[in-house]
Each structure stands twice: as structure tokens, then as C-alpha cells.
Amino acid sequence: MNSDGVGEHFDGVAPDYDRWKAKAHHYYSALKASLAEVVPAGSRVLEVGCATGDILASLDPAEGVGIDISPAMIELASLKHPGLRFLVHDLMKGPIDERFDYVVAADVAEHVPDLEVCMRAMAGMLTDRGVLVLVTANPAWGPVLHLAELLHMKMPEGDHEWRSRTDIVTAAIGARLRERSFTRSLLVPRDLFGVRGLDSARWAYGIRQRFGLIQRAVFDAAPGAHAPTPGSSG
């Protein structure tokens, strides 16, 4: 997998992006709620891979910045959310020169060719007490998601690779981040009457932790991670 075609792919998806999200509104509501559990309203927030900016806006930041490799996504985001700031930036090229209390990345990790490089870039945009929240799809759902894509029931993902917990934690260790929590939620990503109780039932907690579609990993910046290591050139 390489990131050469990623911007072009999402430029092509951009005009229909919000329509795809509306189709998967149950999933997106759960995704936003999962992020809002960690990121308090009124924070200074960066969203990487922000697409049309709705997730960032839903977090109600005091200062919100979104970056994305796709110029078409950034153009739409800027039109939709004039109170937030959006920049075209490829995460694989490193951090932007700003620091945030919260960096969030929703459904982006599967599109980057090197997860550790991506994690280092995100770690480099955290304040010393900053928090990174990474949300990805559980790879156990890979075949279902693939089928849904073939049946045009979900957005075409382009080149991607679902990330396991081990992939994420290993990359985070390489980026000198400290794991705070890893949880899974959402067993029923559609509004199916009678089955949704699985997403809140206490008895189903263990099943959700194993098979929930939404994986949320929360990391703290390691103290002193921004200081140059002895003998390095910075």
C-alpha cells in the first residue's frame, strides 16, 4: 500500500462523501459519541483526515483545525464550517507546526502506508499533556465491510488495510505514546429494531469488546517526548 493515490481517491469520493455518511448515520452517530466521551467540548482540537469536517465540528472545539490530504475534501470542509480552520496536509510528510490538547483520527489509520510514521506525526502535534484518540474499524469486520462496499452499501475505501490492536499499539510505542485505553463498541451498525439492545446490554459487554465495529484507542503524550534525545540533532 502507498499513499500516492490516496488524495486522488478521496478527491473523487468528496462530492458524495456526505451522502455516504448519511447512509451510515447510525455508525457516524456512534463514532461521534465515542470521540465525545474523551474530548470535552471547548477544547483545542486537531482532526487529521478530517474529510468534510463534520466530526471536528461535532466536538464543538474552542479552536478546531482539520487537515486532510484531499484538496477537494478541504474545500468542502471550509465551506461547511467557516468557524473552523482547514489545511491540505499529508500526514506522511510529518506534523504541522502547531500543538493541540487533543488530536483525533477517525477512520484514517487504514489509509496510511506506514502507521508508525503517521503516529509519530500525530504525537508531534500534541502538547505535553495532549491526548491522541484514534478510531478505526475492527479488522474482524473486514469481510462484512468488503461485501458492503461491493454491494455499494458503503463508501469505496480505495487502497486500505484494517489495523489490529497490536498494529496500533506497536506503532504508538514507536511514537513514544502511552496507552490509556482501548475499547470496542457497536455490534449493530444499522438501526435494526429489537437487536440494538446488544449495544447497551451489560451482559453483552464482553462480546462488544471482542467484536464491536468501532475500536477506540486513547494515548497520552509521553512527558518530555518533544525534547531532543541526547546525541540527536533534534
Q: How far is the CB of 209 from ligand SAM (least distance, A)?
A: 22
Compute the distance between CA of residue 117 and CA of residue 112 in angstroms, rounded to an integer: 9
Rama region for 176: left / alpha / beta (φ>0; ψ in -120 to 50; rest): left
Q: Look at strands 100-106 and 177-185 and give their pairing.
A: unpaired
- Closest to ligand SAM by CB, 108 vs 218, is 108
Phi then psi for 184, rounded to 5 degrees? -125, 150
Contact assessment for residue 63 and residue 46, using Cβ atoms and an 8 Å cutoff: no
Q: How far is the CB of 184 from ligand SAM (least distance, A)?
A: 17
Q: How far is the CB of 213 from ligand SAM (least distance, A)?
A: 13
Decide whether 87 or 188 has the Cβ nearer to ligand SAM: 87
- Which lies closer to ligand SAM via its Cβ, residue 85 or residue 178? 85
Shortest distance, position 111 Cβ to ligand SAM, whole Å: 4
- The phi and psi torsions of 100 (rounded to 5 degrees) equal -135, 155
Question: Toward ligand SAM, which CB reaches closer, 17 or 219?
Answer: 17
Name the grid cell of 126.
500534541
Site of interaction with ligand SAM (CB under 6 A):
3, 6, 10, 48-51, 55, 67-70, 73, 90-92, 106-108, 111-112
